[in-house]
Structure 1
């Protein structure tokens, strides 16, 4: 693992200081990822367009990658009696998924020779986590993938990208994966 690629969890003090130093040094591009191919495509797209030239003397942008890990209770919902018995298993699965997301993001960054990357896993609703990360890191731009849901599915599930477009305090770029 490259020493410049680190995973921060639940905002440790030294990671917060490091993130503030990154934000002060260069404008921050924040990429929100989940386990979908759409978000990995958005990360690849970002790396190819903003971080592809390893010969640059200094980076134009700093890259922060954020994964919102759902809470076990939000996944289970109101399951009734016995739900508390399932919570540890659900939490374990969510941690495994988050670790997989982080590992794949690290591999993509390494394959593109991107350094000075901070990866955070933050527990909570993705809409809030992403907008809070934008504020915390003073991001200049938020980049995220589009799942391509239709209007009906978006109405029932809600759209994280739509929420971020309206509530994030920076420019938001939604990257659509081409249909093959």
Structure 2
């Protein structure tokens, strides 16, 4: 029986990234556990996903066009920095076959849509560790909680260990 191209494709791991230390740790953890031990024959395809907020959300209502253009420029610079950081972390582990997607929108929605788009087997997200600190969760929402309930694949929430003093 001949195998189809789809059968030969590697399973996909999507990692949500941003400019924070928690997502960097989650990416490093993913590389160390799913890629480095299998170098150079990686068993997965790696997609890094960054959700950039729409400029109108970032600046609010009632702003000047010049200010909005400045914010759009800043958001583009941040997205470029996030892309470079993700690629640099991967390169430091000798993982160079990585796709980085920058998508405008809410991180919760973007990550779930990326999972569907690529038929991902695993979604990896970092945890900020807000836990029951209700105010932070109410204001920021929980990307990991939303994805755990709505992503159409397994979700791994990677927590950065707390440093004991």
Q: Deviations over 1:1-52 (max 9, x none)?
A: xxxxxxxxxxxxxxxxxxxx89961110100001100000000000000011
How many correspondences in the alignment?
Answer: 157
Deviation of the 1:85 alpha carbon: 3.0
Give the secondary-structure state (helix, strand or coil) at the position aligned to 2:37.
coil
Normalising by structure 1, we get a TM-score of 0.81
How far residue 148 of structure 1 moved from its aligned partner, in angstroms, is 1.2
Give 4+ residue runs of structure 1 displaced > 6 Å after superposition.
none
Matched, 1:26 2:17: no
**1:111-166 per-position Cα deviation (integer Å, ceiling 9, x unaligned):** 10113211111111111111100000000000010011223310222111111111
Residue matched to 1:11: none
Query: Matched residues in 1 for 2:96 and 2:28: separation?
Result: 14
Aligned residue in 2 for 1:91: 72
- 1:169/1:24 CA distance change after superposition, 3 Å: farther
Q: How does 1:13-162 map to 2 (within 5 A)?
A: 25-53=9-37, 55-56=39-40, 58-78=41-61, 80=62, 82-149=63-130, 150-162=133-145
Gaps of 5+ in 1: 1-20
Q: Aligned partners of 1:132 and 1:44: how far apart in 2?
A: 23
Give a deviation string over 1:58-84, Cα, whole Å, max 9, x none: 321111100111111011122x2x343
Q: Which moved more, 1:102-111 or 1:151-160?
A: 151-160
Match of residue 173 from structure 1: 156
Which structure is higher in RCO with an 8 Å CA cutoff and minimum separation 6?
1
Say if 1:85 and 1:24 are closer, same or farther in 2 by CA, change over 3 A: farther
CA RMSD of aligned residues (A): 1.8
Normalised to the residue count of structure 2, the TM-score between the two structures is 0.88
**Residues 27 and 127 of structure 1, relative CA distance in 2, 3 Å threshold:** same
Give yes or no for contact 1:23–1:137 (8 Å, CA) kept in 2.
Answer: no
- Tell me, in whole angstroms, the C-alpha distance in 1 between the residues paired with 2:139 and 2:13: 30
